[in-house]
A and B are shown apart, each in its own frame.
Chain A
Amino acid sequence: MSSFPEIRDKVRSAETLSFEDGVALYQHPNLMELGALANEVRERLHGDRTYFNRNLHINATNVCEASCRFCSFARLQPGDPAAYTMTLEEAWGRLRARVAANDPITEIHIVNGLHPGLAFDYYTELLAGLKRIQPSIHLKAFTAVEIFYFAKKFGMSIEAVLQALRAAGLDSPPGGGAEIFAPRVRKKICDDKSDADEWLEVHRVAHKMGLRSNCTMLYGHIETAEERVDHMLRLRALQDETGGFQTFIPLAFHPDNNALMKLPGPTGVEDLRTYAVARLLLHNIPHLKAYWIMLGIKTAQTALWFGADDLDGTVQEERIYHMAGAATPQVMHPTEIIRLIQNAGRTPVERDTLYNVVAEGAALIPDKPFRRDVRRSLEVVS
């Protein structure tokens, strides 16, 4: 197995790290050394620049055929307690409210359950209606798991599904649903949804159509370090092939209110180690996002020195991870995000979904902040 100095030399000479290198990094006892090396790469790629965006999450339904054991969000049947499905008007109303509040969001992030009873038109009309309200909004919608489900359920090819969604307004697919690619793990935690090859194929097709996307890894449950490294290397291989991934987002497992609630979840040190290893292994994926909703604000800020260069966004109305026990607020005001980044000694840059710069420097001060209901922003959905 490679020593840390050997790996450090490889990183500094821009050599690709091997599977063994990744495992060795996970086992390296000195977190400070690991973090400093990841920070070198982060600063080589982005300097101090740290990205965020203004976005809105819409989870239009939590009715889901899949029974993933880590999930606290899904309800198997439409009539189950706490099951919900928004009408199109309700979903569109979320955006109308933001527009009315002069909230200059640039992205809507849409992720749903695999609802057995909704027609394909529901999804295309959902997108089209949002675009009618705000044509410039970027619609980052439907994970690869959802897109694969649509293809199977509606008898369409993946490409045909993506083309139809794109025609309705889809701009890019998000990176969720990847979990851990290892069959051993998937069999135990999510055996009734798309597998690794199917997830990767959806992104391959999307990239070939010219769409950009993100990728994720759900860590901190039953997977091993080797399985995390394998997961990242499969993403890296697809990125070598297509170049379509913009951002890798490690997602910390939350154990509340789901079938894996006896597991402890990842610790803070495990979070930082995973970010650092990801930054070092995934040299070809430009961005690494510390998703504050799942990591917690304190850990997300710390991750900005362990490889991460992005904090995600204002979010607003996230449900999936809050139902799993995330104790973070439902929304973070841009001013708070900027202060958090500056307190970390970094330079905040507001971006759009495709990492075009929206504002930086003096232009960053939000001149039209949206109205913030403090009580609501601090509410924790449990």
Chain B
Amino acid sequence: MSVEARSLPLPEPAPESLAMLDLFALGRQASAARDGQLGRRGTFVRARQLLASGGWRGPRDAAESTVDEADLAAVGGLPALRAAGIDLLVAPADSPHARAAAEAGLRVLLRVPYRVGEDDRERVHRLAAIDQASFGVWGVMPAPSGEPYGLDTLRFFALCRLALPRVAHLLADVGALGPRLAQMAFGFGADELFAPIVAERALRLGANAHNPSLTRKEAATLIRGAGLGPCERFADGTIEEVSA
């Protein structure tokens, strides 16, 4: 079944009192906000990344092509991205190129940093600045500084969902969080897994045991286990449910 992404009704801006909510209230509110915007679904996408070397990481037939801002200069800057077929710029929250990329028609995914021990009120203020950005931010992805704590991470996910009502997508980075915590993030407002999606994963042996890549089936299993309908996202914005 193919489903078009819905236009997004904007919830009320998140008040500072978000920082006072307990874990379960945050989870419930963030999930409700996600469900209201996107439905009870979680997505994944087969993507490939343009590297500084000019080569690609990821499958040739990927549905989405990305570039990290750190590699932007090496690949020829923004003007070269369209020619290379890039859909998505992954950039830091204070990116100097995000606005221009958005104006050039690219989608922008911002990495939003957080660190253990920060006050939730500080976080809400920082997120408010992103929400007020005058260009369209397609999505945000919490990026821990150092080894993340579980509860701290889940609270931050919920704050992102609730404090950024104009940002549709909240991604859980499997490489940074691990699959367990990334899956839990769906209970706190996340709607997409950010991980290399591979056709087949070798058995968990040696150095491959903690490889963050997922097969389609593994990604769907994680999303389904979180209580959402697993869907694969394609380049044209359509999504397709993944059957069990």
B-binding residues in A (CB < 8 A): 29-32, 35-36, 39, 255-257, 261-262, 264, 267-272, 296-302, 304-305, 325, 327, 340, 343-345, 382
Contacts and interface: CB of A to CB of B under 8 A. Distances in A.
A305 to B, nearest CB: 5
B222 interface: yes
Interface string B112-153: 000011000000000000000000000000000001111111
Given A29-B227, A267-B225, A268-B184, 4 more contacts: A32-B31, A267-B179, A269-B184, A269-B226
Interface residues of B, number: 37
Contact of B183 (A29, A39, A267): A267
Contact of A268 (B27, B147, B151, B179): B179
B149 A298 contact: yes
B24 A36 contact: yes
A264 B153 contact: no
B154 interface: yes
Interface of B: 23-24, 27-28, 31, 116-117, 147-154, 177-184, 186-187, 203-206, 209-210, 218, 221-222, 225-227
A301 B149 contact: yes
Contacts of B226: 31, 267, 269
Identify which of A32, A39, A255, A305 gathers the most chain B CB atoms within 10 Å of its CB. A32
A268 B149 contact: no
B209 A298 contact: no
Given A31-B187, A35-B24, A325 B227 contact: no
B151 A302 contact: yes
B62 to A, nearest CB: 24
A32 B177 CA distance: 20
Nearest to B186: A269
Contacts of B186: 269
A36 to B, nearest CB: 4
A339 B221 CA distance: 33
B222 A296 contact: no
A343 B150 CA distance: 9
A255 B204 contact: yes
Nearest to B180: A268
Nearest to B148: A298
A296 B24 contact: no
Contacts of A32: 24, 27-28, 31, 187
**Sorted from nearest, which 8 A-B pairs have the closest CB atoms?**
A268-B180, A298-B150, A302-B150, A36-B24, A301-B150, A32-B27, A268-B184, A268-B183
Contacts of A298: 148-150, 153, 177-178, 180-181
Contact of B180 (A255, A257, A296, A340): A296
